[in-house]
Structure 1
């Protein structure tokens, strides 16, 4: 039987993550009972205090065991913990060394949404792919440059460490874990029972691009503003370098360091973000939107749009436009 430890943090944590994980793993046990099989998961709520109340005071959870008493476990789940990272790390100081110890003893680790920040703080994500809520991607990259953030992914897996993207995408990772430990048939049944798309892998359709602007590079900030104000025209790297009076190689290096995007990627993402907003309004055709954001080639626009959003412009309009729903 696989022992699963669901961590109950101090602070303002995601009740949905905790209850959802607890319910879905125990659903598998119930399903096994219906087909005369023994349960395969022992799900336990663990914490650093015997009672953990959210900072807003609405909910209190009583962990079944304290982490200091858990000498061995097979899988640890870290929910999203909201609020100031430094304050939360201080409040949950016992968590990180315990995670490292358990991982070194063979435990697998799972983080949901912004819980990835706490997993990264342990150092265990250095050199490994991971995901988090797309809204916090720039902040995550700045804080944990050694982790390999894949903010377009709903989930990642590397060497026994699993992470999920934003909000309710944790359910997709849960289905993935159920499939891994209980098989495809059970995972399909769980996806149907909980009405979860079993094979969804990308959070790109839901991402809203906001350029990284917390850096202090004035010339790059000016270039970013110029791109965002002139996205409907053809913008070249040489033009941006000329405006900034910075040599091209230096400009490209500084731009990538500051924004986590190449110049071309940034231009494309700004244009596609503008296109997404127009398509969501639903009042214009795809071609009209394409021309408005500075594209003249239908195939090029479609390819870039699909690369960034994981959907075609038409599919995106049909899914998100109020006029088509």
Structure 2
């Protein structure tokens, strides 16, 4: 990944919805930026620069009466690493031939220059109209799968698959229906700027696990560095030594303060008691290990500083809302899926 942000264009036309257009824009904007705000109190680097393109730059009324203000016209749009096509909010039997001629010509031209094209939901129909899906696997919203197969018999429709990467260099990406545009955005983030960034976006935005609540994603907003220089020095030390025995006693010695004074200033600076802070750091490291490896729970507990694996598991469940095994099954699967995206980079990056 270079220093220049990934350029992502989002195609806009009247038959789409603001939730997809602006939802994707928000997730792309989040990449790199929001994790820093949550964990360190300041924005991180801009990794993706999204923009909106339509036939013209005038305000455009789309579905449900929302108004969108495109950044560029199709004719004057800048170079892009990725172009995203939102859903076509029409009945599946609605004729599309000729309806999107300028958009289809633009997509075909961008694809010819090496740009990756990604379609959410029924947006795959525009890729098919452009002839880009011939002899390729594809997916779309379940209500459009039959229509896609009938109108374009050369397309190998995969109705059961939620995400398909197809074509030369896997530069044609399609997601199924509903809120799968979130999966599509995560895939594109992982593929263009890295799996860890995509995981951060998923955690910050609670993607795909809304029913669990926020706890599994709460990656220590309170660990950001504080203004108290003594406590900040202790934070730096404990970030590297949290697994050592009796870390709070070591922190007291490092601070040079009386124990009671140290604990008062630590809570005042971080909002957490020192031991609570140590537990939080240990659990965050345990989450990372659960996501990325298959080490036994007992080994992970020992690695992050707990001799009693049972105590570790109870603490993890109380703080995270899931057992370590449940956390691994949920988030390990997400990381594995995104790792597949991260192994295929955007052309030229």
Correspondence for 1:170: 181
Correspondence for 1:15: 18
Q: Please list the CA deviations of residues 190-244 of structure 1 after superposition, one character each: whole Å capped at 9, or x if unmatched.
A: 222222249xxxxxxxxxxxxxxxxxxxxxxxxxxxxxxxxxxxxxxxxxxxxxx
Alignment CA distance shift 1:87-1:65 (3 Å): farther
TM-score after normalising by structure 2: 0.52
The 3-state SS of whatever aligns with 2:114 is: coil
C-alpha contact 1:3 1:43 (8 A) present in aligned 2: yes
1:73-222 matches, cutoff 5 A: 73-83=80-90, 90-158=98-166, 159-197=170-208
* RMSD of aligned Cα (Å): 2.1
C-alpha contact 2:82 2:118 (8 A) present in aligned 1: yes
Correspondence for 1:299: none
Correspondence for 1:322: none
Q: CA deviation at 1:95?
A: 0.8
Q: 1:30 aligns with which of 28, 33, 48?
A: 33
Q: CA deviation at 1:31?
A: 3.2
The 3-state SS of whatever aligns with 1:13 is: coil
Greater shift in the superposed pair: 108-117 or 84-93: 84-93
C-alpha contact 1:12 1:54 (8 A) present in aligned 2: yes
Alignment CA distance shift 1:42-1:55 (3 Å): closer
Q: Please list the CA deviations of residues 54-108 of structure 1 after superposition, one character each: whole Å capped at 9, or x if unmatched.
A: 255x111010110101252111110011226766554432111111111111110
Alignment CA distance shift 1:91-1:137 (3 Å): closer
The 3-state SS of whatever aligns with 1:12 is: coil
2:80 corresponds to 1:69 = no
The 3-state SS of whatever aligns with 2:75 is: helix
The 3-state SS of whatever aligns with 2:49 is: strand
- Structure 1 segments of 4+ aligned residues over 4 angstroms from their partners: 32-37, 84-89
Q: Where does the alignment leave 5 or more consecutive residues of structure 1 unmatched?
A: 199-325
Mapped partners of 2:7, 2:36: distance in 1: 18
Instruction: Pick 1 or 2: higher relative contact order, CA cutoff 8 A, min separation 6.
Output: 2
C-alpha contact 1:32 1:39 (8 A) present in aligned 2: no
C-alpha contact 1:178 1:187 (8 A) present in aligned 2: yes
C-alpha contact 2:18 2:62 (8 A) present in aligned 1: no
Q: Where does the alignment leave 5 or more consecutive residues of structure 2 unmatched?
A: 210-349
Alignment CA distance shift 1:66-1:88 (3 Å): farther
TM-score after normalising by structure 1: 0.56
Q: CA deviation at 1:116?
A: 0.6
Mapped partners of 1:38, 1:55: distance in 2: 33
Mapped partners of 2:63, 2:195: distance in 1: 39
Alignment CA distance shift 1:2-1:32 (3 Å): farther
C-alpha contact 1:156 1:163 (8 A) present in aligned 2: yes
1:293-312 matches, cutoff 5 A: none
Q: CA deviation at 1:112?
A: 0.4
Greater Rg by CA: 2
Q: CA deviation at 1:42?
A: 1.3
Correspondence for 1:281: none
